[in-house]
Amino acid sequence: MIVYFAAGAKAWPEYEAPLTKALAGTGATIVTEAPDPAAVDYIIFAPGGDIEDFTPFTRAKAVLNLWAGVEKIVGNPTLTQPLCRMVDPSLTEGMVEWVTGQVLRFHLGLDRFIARAPHWDQHVPPLARERPVAVLGMGELGAACGQVLAGLNFPVTGWSRTPRDVPGIRCLSGDVGDALDGAQIVVLLLPNTPDTQNVLNAETLARLAPGAAVINPGRGPLIDDDALLAALESGQVAHATLDVFRQEPLPAEHPYWHHPNVTVTPHVAASTRASGVSHSIAENIRRGEAGEPFLHLVDRTRGY
């Protein structure tokens, strides 16, 4: 069994030991080059890796993406093999920690204590139960983040394109504005699809409570950047914490870098950790060899 690590030579040193350990005993041979594509059984892939044309890989049973997002590969017309996105506990844990930290940072007003001069501000924030939060996206990551925030007493409304039932969360589908009405914090964890692009725009931002916070660790195209900047200028949005962008790295001249009410983080909210991801890859390969359904198979028509 040949497993082709096609996620790029730069990533291989990080993954070599964890993947070798995770696949021990499976009979897999891991290669970083594929002189005979027709001999490859599984492809481990990441955007920017070694493959653009999947046509020669006629024997490959699956393409196993190292990232949770698949928008950079799902539309590739040469990709006819089953595609699995990455869902791993370490990704979920990292996202929950980042989102919770950013929500609490805004909720408690911690930035006001970064003082350059004597500054005795005894403003008392509301309790969490008085701060409505909207989480757009009720997949693995959105549901996990929403449940942790609900556990801290935030009233959480989750929104997804299709109906979901997540314990402890008021779940809506249909008009996204219904989930945003009166929200003081909105967290974006939707995939990037034609139906979700610019989900936060002038109209939907106006549905938030005045002075709300926008937190986006999902995908850059979910936000109409011009509309967000206008909402920041008007005060409709008090602060935006953004981890993802339409162009990455974010260009030095972009207004987000210089806006006093924007925090930029460099796409680190839920980083892939080689040890955990390797076990997820190995499990899908085991399933493929056993004739069992793959985990986290991408629905091409929905884009995720």
Catalytic residue annotation: 219, 267
User: Could you tell me the CA-to-CA distances from 196 to 2, 38, 114, 137, 302 in Å, in that order?
Assistant: 37, 37, 36, 10, 11
d(CA 205, CA 52): 37
Nearest to 182 by CA among 196, 170, 192, 191: 170
Query: Which contacts (CB < 8 Å, 24+ apart) does range 162-166 have?
Result: 164/138, 166/138
Whether 138 contacts 158, CB under 8 Å: yes
- Tokens 């950013």 belong to 102
Residues written for the chain: 304
d(CA 5, CA 289): 18
d(CA 7, CA 4): 9
